[in-house]
Amino acid sequence: MQTQSWGQTGWTVSRLAYGGWRLDGPEGHPLNDGGVVGVRAVLSAADAGYTVFDLADIYGGGESERIFGLALRARPGLRDQVRVVSKCSIRRSGDPGPTAPYRYDASADYIVRSVEGSLARMGISELDVLLLHRPDYLLDPDEVARAFEQLRQAGKVREFGVSNFRPGQWTALQRACSRPLVTHQVQISLAHRESLEDGVLDQCLAERITPMAWSPLARGELLLDEVPGAPKLRPVLNAVADELGVTPAIVALAWLLRHPAAVMPVVGTVQPDRIKALAAAPDCHLSRETWYRLLEAARGTRLP
């Protein structure tokens, strides 16, 4: 797989990341298979050249991280070949007591405890990158910066970033941190194009931040016969795929990869054949004209 640099880290990584959201099965429908499917998916991704693995403390209630740890133990030496990302700050209702609501929590104590839990579940000593999963409305940038520095000094996290933040929220946190935040993970796809307009990708370009695109195929909606909210898109997606001799999924990922901010799509399928097939997306180059053709079809109207 083609590679790229990651923010200001100096790391060279795969252009696609592998996402562990469904390693334990679809949300609310765990596989209860002892991790067989998930381990196979992780190892298939590693074999296909993915070197960034994206997880979170809430995925499968922690099971996804545990399954990822099983995969690391199944293949000695794999940990040294990949970059491990995890996220925290979303807390489910009932935690820690029955009246506690679903909420976001970027308090220093919770950040540190979450990282320690993630490391224990995966059986590793250090995360390469920790992201705040959602922006806590009560987030204190100075408090978060202190937690980040504590984790870095303790050798538990190397680099930090955020997910789903507005540019202003990013700026406030970055000003409090002594080191550059290296990545911003947001929802970006042909079906979800807000980051093109709200300043997120502009900021990534200006600050040398690597944007990670979660749900780059819009949770599979881009592969339906008619894309919800964009009825003109699927015929154009199919036509471009036929012209290039690839699948519509490859075209949808290539559309993201064409952006100069070096977007890193996070692929989440657990099917080994699809994991391998999608790894070819960085080899699919879209012309400027084709990129805009797809954008126009997704918008349903020409640009102003």
Catalytic residues: 59
Q: State whether residue 260 is helix, strand or coil.
A: coil
Cβ–Cβ < 8 Å for 270, 38: yes
Question: CA–CA distance from 161 to each of 39, 79, 135, 169, 267 (Å)?
Answer: 26, 21, 11, 12, 19
| Tokens 């898109």 sit on residue | 233
Six-digit token string for 144: 């978060």
Six-digit token string for 124: 């590793």
Amino acid identity, position 152:
R
Q: How many CA atoms lie within 13 A of 198 on its CB side?
A: 15
Q: How many CA atoms lie within 13 A of 142 on its CB side?
A: 0
In the chain the first and final C-alpha atoms are separated, in Å, by 37
Burial 102-124 (b: 16+ CB within 10 A, else e): eebbbbbebbbebbeebbebbeb
